Structure 1
Amino acid sequence: MATDPTSYKLNHSMIRVKDPKRSVEFYEFLGLKLINQHKNPDAKFDLYFLAYDSPGAVSHGNHWSDREGIVELTHNYGTENDPNYKIANGNTEPRGFGHLCISVDNIQAACQRIEDAGYRFQKKLTDGRMRHIAFVLDPDDYWVEVIGRKPLEETENVKDTDVSTYRLNHTMIRVKDAEKSLNFYKDVMGMKLKRTSENEKAQFNLYFLGYGDDASATTAHQEGLLELTWNYGTEKNPNFKYHDGNAEPQGFGHICVSVDDIDAACARFEEKGVNWKKRLTDGRMKNIAFVLDPDGYWIEVVQNEKLKSGGRAAI
């Protein structure tokens, strides 16, 4: 069977957490729901998959592999009891991963609700010049951007927010060479460039990529996007390198793409000359693969169970 990249989905983003109880509680407060869990006592780690799943959610009721906008929390046993354990959030050195982002119905009310619950902010709406975005800190100090789907003037006098309407909008990673990364994610991974934000005065550009043909919706209304942040000049420095989150100190782990036929997709990636972290045939787990992007970030490849045509075992 051939593979059709237009059917791919940016399924999830994985981050490591110190205390799963605190982290699950935080993301559930933001309106996500625990839709799947893998316990691995032999290997001493557990995985928690959270996503927006209200009746109005984009992927409501779908199998976890047939979704976009999932957060995967990875907990290695014992970290919750280790006073010295701390993740690398990607925004202090060594930098790489930047943040997750949720889009909300009413950004003022959403931020007030978060503040009233006692959660900390990296940036409140009133901080700095950019009054239309905020960054809340999760229990491990990962940044979660909050953006509104409506102009501020339309919601400033509205005091309510409905978490069932929230969406996990995007995952941001920093890239060294914008041209190389854009070519990789478009040509190899099959994504489309949805929006570009050029910021010449601040010397950086933002590129939003994703799957699907949701051209009628603004990027703030979508879920499962990838934001590439390029700081001008990094591509000219032969010694410059971003941290992939998997070398020490660890934090962010990977993004994951679910595909229509994992064997055919991996054969296509092979033809494209990708660098592999793990082929399907490597190791004991024969139902997942990991591709490396131009900056060495890991991209997990899994089977979309809804689109499975063969007899490969479910993940």
Structure 2
Amino acid sequence: MTIRQRTHDQTPQLNSLLLGSRDPERLRDWYATAFATESNRFGFVELGAAGVLPDPRDDVADQATEPGRVILNLGVRDIQAAVQRIEQAGTTWITPLEEREPGWFATFTDPDGTYVQVIQMKPETDAEMLAEARRDATPTRPFCGFAVDDTARAATFYRDMLGLDVTDGPMGLLTIWLGESDFVMAYPKETHVPAQHTILNIPVDDIDDAVASLVEQGVQMLRYDGFGQDEHGISRDNGGPPIAWFTDPAGNVLSVLQPQ
């Protein structure tokens, strides 16, 4: 049997934007500087899921003649810091930083005169938009599931101790969100037997802080022979990233790891 990945009814997915320019190298360097990022080996400036490619063209003007026709909207976590970087890179402000009902906005031009806007949504706006997107979400890609013996305890653990969003579903199902759209399902099983393999690996920025936080909340780190774990249960010299293992209330094995 062949498993085919289901997409949104074959709806095309936006994967990049081209910015036609007489001086694409200047434009690429400016975007990399203004947004503290870099271009990949294909010349795309990596700005989230959709890359931006300054593309050499001789059929465009030196400066955009209709700069508001297409506006790049870029979400940022710290708009004050973003505005400072943009000013250092050099720009002309169309609309200086201002607060509106959903969040904070600032509009400016890139070196070719095209309008760009940075946006930082307020937490309540982000939460409302995310809840709306998830409310009627249906799986469009393969996803994993695992059993637990007590969904209430599992929900508390994954939500309160690991800081993940958890939503209730029919028949006692739990949806554990790993991002805006990625998730795993936890389902109740009376004859549950804990998984002996690692069912979920959670990337963290600082594994020492992550392990310390878990231990402080009463989580006991697991130890395995041959992994050279330190006194905190962290394995660092295993040929991969630093990693530490523990279990959820149902006994399933999880890990936190720090990508290198």
The TM-score with structure 1 as length reference comes to 0.33
Greater relative contact order (CA < 8 Å, ≥ 6 in sequence): 1
Q: Which one has a larger percent strand, Structure 1 or Structure 2?
A: 1
Return the index of the structure with the highest Cα Rg.
2
The TM-score with structure 2 as length reference comes to 0.39
